[in-house]
Amino acid sequence: MFMLIFRWPWEDVGWNHWRTDLSHHRWATGFDFGLAVALPVAAAFLLVLAFRGAPRRNWHGVPLLPAWALWGAAPFVTAVAYAMAAHSERNVWPALLMAFYLAGLGLATLGEGLVARRLGAINLGVLVFLAVIIGKFFSSDYGFTAKGLVFIVCGGAFLAANLAASRHMRRNRQSVL
């Protein structure tokens, strides 16, 4: 999914690409459409099974979706991005949708890790969020010095999040994993 936050994977998707040489792309087109339908259907089935056995959480009366539900929504978001790319010549919107989805996924995982006091989930959330930031920033036209500074700042943020979470958990004598 990380690769889909960039524009280049979406360049060969869409009606213009399929019409250039239909005899060559017929099987690829069928395979793409098959995956765009089968993956969300399979994900919906697995999400329904998972929601049946999942404990319900509330935050001041508001039901919360667990982060794994957002991870399970990945095929749906990818199918929407695929449909956007298939019907448009601009491949900026699918890449932007995937970048926002992954950033939100990282923040949701980070938040759930903080609430549950699980350092592994905190690390995963920070890693996903920072990967989106660093990936988009390094693919831009900024200079080497600016890219290096952003890389150092993101590494510092990752370290600070780990230190703060581990200190808090040690004080409360909670498990860190």
| Packing angle, helices 144-171 and 92-116, rounded to 10 | 20
Non-local CB neighbours of 114 within 8 Å, separated by 6+ positions: 122, 165
From 175, 92, 162, 170, select the one nearest 130 (Cα to Cα): 162
Over residues 3-42, the pLDDT tens digits come to: 888 888 777 776 555 555 555 566 666 777 777 788 788 8
Task: Compare 174 and 25 and report the one with higher pLDDT.
Answer: 25
Q: How confident is the model at residue 135 (pLDDT cuts 50, 70, 90)?
A: confident
Please report the pLDDT score of residue 2 as a whole number.
Answer: 85
Please report the pLDDT score of residue 17 as a whole number.
Answer: 58
Please report the pLDDT score of residue 110 as a whole number.
Answer: 84
Percent of the chain at pLDDT exceeding 90: 3
Q: What is the mean pLDDT of residues 138-153?
A: 79
Q: Answer whether residue 61 shows pLDDT above 70.
A: no
Tell me the chain's radius of gyration from C-alpha atoms. 20
Q: Classify strands 62-63 and 58-59 as parallel, antiparallel or unpaired.
A: antiparallel
- pTM here is 0.71
Q: DSSP of the chain, one letter per residue?
A: -GGGGSSGGGTT-SHHHHHHSHHHHHHHHHHHHHHHHHHHHHHHHHHHHHHHHSPP-EETTEE---HHHHHHTHHHHHHHHHHHHHT-S--HHHHHHHHHHHHHHHHHHHHHHHHHT-HHHHHHHHHHHHHHHHHHHHTSS--HHHHHHHHHHHHHHHHHHHHHHHHHHHHTT----
Please report the pLDDT score of residue 102 as a whole number.
Answer: 92
The per-residue pLDDT of the chain, averaged, comes to 77
Over residues 74-101, the pLDDT tens digits come to: 888 888 888 888 777 777 888 889 999 9
Percent of the chain at pLDDT exceeding 70: 78
